[in-house]
Structure 1
Amino acid sequence: MTSADVAVSLCALAGLVLLCSAARGLLSRALADTGSAAHAAELVSTLQLCCCAHELRLLAEAGRADPRLSLALTYLASVVHALTSAGAATNPCAALERAYRGRLAGRRALLAVACQLAAAAAARAAVLPALWGLGLSEMHARHGMRGFPCRSQIRAPLHAAAAAELAGAFAAQTAITHAHAVGERYRVHAIAAVVTASVYAGGALTGAVFNPALAFSTQFLCSGSSFLELCVVYWAGPLLGTTSSVLLFDKVVPMATGMFLARRRPPETKKAN
């Protein structure tokens, strides 16, 4: 991999973000009175996320990029995605969490998940092959000549791989839940830092996806693992991780704190007759 390949990939990433931002703006205005603007945002934002993740993965695998560069790009991509996603969940776990908290109706949450999966499939089946087929760099041309192959990133026993995805999703959801404690201008960077640290910790085991829709795009058409293994690692793992974080901080911690304070509270003295 040459510096020219890196430069072309960065330009491709910037172009994808700009095109998706323009599409989001146009669709938001066109569908403002139909009630479908939120679903359009889910489609476009998830498409942007999946396309950028594919390009970063190709950049890392094709040239064995410096891990420090890969982590820096992961952090940058996380920040850009958070700033440009227009409030879209882009993650089935996040959509279900919003439904649980009452911020999203159940039917709309299911529609959001359907939009995310549709965008994930479109990114892998249509958008990326068209982009890579342009042969923008030698790296893209070589990848196109081989038929855009990919191999499963599960490099650990099934239980360890699922635990890695669970832990990453738990860390990401916990950071999002407690991001209000960080100043507004630093909130996105704090979450991106947690995501990047989780990618560093679990990337060698599973590629560190933590998002069922993103995994559906980047992992489910790759060789090397069965469909059931992929479902356990990339769907059950993140779902359990997100659920564990939500229940821990919504139910367990408040209950334990209340019991602790009740035990430390001095007994009330009886009033004199």
Structure 2
Amino acid sequence: MTDLVVSVAVLGAAVLLSEVLRRTAARFSPGEYWTYLLEAASTFQLCCCTHELKLLGETAGLELPVGLTLTYFMTVVHLMTFNGASCNPSGALESVCRGTSTIRAALVIIACQFGAAVAAQYFAASVWTLGLSDVHIRHQRFGFRCFDPISGTLLEAAAVEMACAFTIQAAAMHVHKVDEKLRVHFIAAVITGLVYAGGSISGAIFNPVLAFSVQFPCSGHTYPEYCFVYWLGPFLGMASCILLFEKIVPFLSGKSTIGLDVPAAPKQKTQ
């Protein structure tokens, strides 16, 4: 129970720190710089919280309902504090494809996201070094090592990541049909369900920058193999979802999407 309380406190500290960064950026960084700093601060929050949740889930022996409840709760917190940040390179690439963002802006956003992902690794290690709980102390003794996050084959793991990305993209594209007060909870429920369904095979990350921060440092596979699973899989899932709902389905139904201004769907993933 003490481990859980400490981890919840760490999650709260990460969210609070990120919120301070967001508000400071909003006050002193006008224009496009605010967008870049928003992405950095929100991605930092997402990665920090996922590091702590992953450690807690793997070493503290949490019961499944408790783990899923934390996942759902933190997803709601993220969605309510991100202020529209995607925290996902796929979101930046989608904006370029839709013509709502330039290539330069997308590259800067992606760079900010990966920079924040690396910063989150150092933040998590610094917190664990303090030895605030038995879980942190044990993890420190092992040199903060994490082990193979993939339990199936590479194709199975990539398929899971692709399916998860497809599902969350579809949910984001159709969330406007849900009552506005329930949209955050709808997305949080979908993400929690995906974590439950695919977490045992690949970790159900379906976010390239989050995987880079949380999964890539783990032993068991090479970087190219992790890229295949955690980068190519989610990208194909997102692209196939857009192709299906905005091209194939309208074509089969005799409708056209040409000229429609379809907003980019958010790509938030939390655990």
Cα deviation, residue 91, structure 1: 0.4
Q: Please point out which of 236, 241, 247 is paired with 2:237.
A: 241
Determine if the alignment matches structure 1 residue 88 to structure 2 residue 85. Answer: yes
SS of residue in 2 equivalent to 1:150: coil
1:67-89 Cα deviation digits (max 9, x unpaired):
11111111111111111112111
Cα deviation, residue 118, structure 1: 1.1
| Length, aligned pairs only | 255
In the alignment, residue 112 of structure 2 is paired with which amino acid? C
Determine if the alignment matches structure 1 residue 55 to structure 2 residue 52. Answer: yes
Q: Please point out which of 131, 135, 139 is paired with 2:131.
A: 135
Alpha-carbon distance in structure 2 between the residues aligned to 1:209 and 1:101: 24
Cα deviation, residue 27, structure 1: 1.3
1:194-240 Cα deviation digits (max 9, x unpaired):
11111111111001100000000001111011112101100000000
- Gap regions ≥5 residues in structure 2: 256-271
Alpha-carbon distance in structure 2 between the residues aligned to 1:168 and 1:17: 25
1:152-208 Cα deviation digits (max 9, x unpaired):
211101111100000000000110010100111111111111111111111110011
Cα deviation, residue 142, structure 1: 1.8
- Gap regions ≥5 residues in structure 1: 260-273
Partner of 1:10: 8
Partner of 1:164: 160
SS of residue in 1 equivalent to 2:184: helix
1:244-264 Cα deviation digits (max 9, x unpaired):
1111111111111117xxxxx
1:18-73 Cα deviation digits (max 9, x unpaired):
1110111001211115x311100111100100000000001001112111111111
Partner of 2:99: 102
Partner of 2:29: 31
Q: TM-score, with normalisation over the residues of structure 2?
A: 0.91
In the alignment, residue 14 of structure 1 is paired with which amino acid? G
Partner of 1:151: 147
Alpha-carbon distance in structure 1 between the residues aligned to 2:37 and 2:167: 28
Q: Please, what is the CA RMSD of the aligned residues? A: 1.1
In the alignment, residue 107 of structure 2 is paired with which amino acid? L
Cα deviation, residue 9, structure 1: 0.5
Alpha-carbon distance in structure 1 between the residues aligned to 2:74 and 2:91: 18
Structure number with the bigger relative contact order (C-alpha 8 A, sep ≥ 6) is 2
Alpha-carbon distance in structure 2 between the residues aligned to 1:230 and 1:11: 31
In the alignment, residue 18 of structure 1 is paired with which amino acid? L
SS of residue in 1 equivalent to 2:254: helix
